[in-house]
Amino acid sequence: MENKRICDSLIDPVSKSAIQEGTHITGNIAGAGDLILNGELKGDIEVGGLLLIGEKGSVQGMVAAENVILAGHVMGRVTVKGKIEIRTSGNMEGHIVCQKIAIAEGAYLDGEVHTHKGNAVTPSYFTEKRKDLQAADE
């Protein structure tokens, strides 16, 4: 079985939206494309593509997306049709329903994880590769 990371470059530049750091939203967000969230959202979010929650991003509410990369903070329920990656800086408090999950060493998860079909899933773990670590090996 091959583990594949959801790559940030998968975000379609035509259909992506971004909420920048320092932006605070109270309400719900819905869209068909990809979204990069570096601001704060108190409410629900539904994205038809990839949702990237950056290190400064946070959501308090329900999250639904095709795929999710979590580097920030989520407090609530996350429903993912495909895969969720919780990166080293990621902080998840609540319930996750997904097909696949990858949890980086150092990530925080407090809650439950369920698969779509109800089958047990063994999380796949990955180590984020930093440019400075790669340069040291060369």
Q: What pLDDT sits at residue 6?
A: 56
Written as one string, the DSSP assignment of 44-92 is: -EEEEEEEEE-TT-EEES-EEEEEEEESSEEEEEEEESSEEEE-TT-EE
85 bridge partner residues:
69, 102
- pLDDT tens series, the chain, 138 aa: 455 555 555 555 556 788 888 889 999 999 988 999 999 999 999 999 999 999 999 999 999 999 999 999 999 999 999 999 999 999 999 999 999 999 999 999 999 999 776 555 555 555 555 555 544 544
Q: What pLDDT sits at residue 24?
A: 92
Q: What is the DSSP letter of 133?
A: H
Q: Which residues contact 85 (CB under 8 A, 6 or more apart)?
A: 5, 6, 68, 69, 70, 101, 102, 103, 104, 126
Q: What pLDDT sits at residue 18?
A: 82
pTM of the model: 0.77
From the CB of residue 112, how many other CB atoms can be counted at a distance below 10 Å? 10
Domain ranges of the chain: 8-137
Nearest-angstrom CA–CA distance, 2 and 38: 30
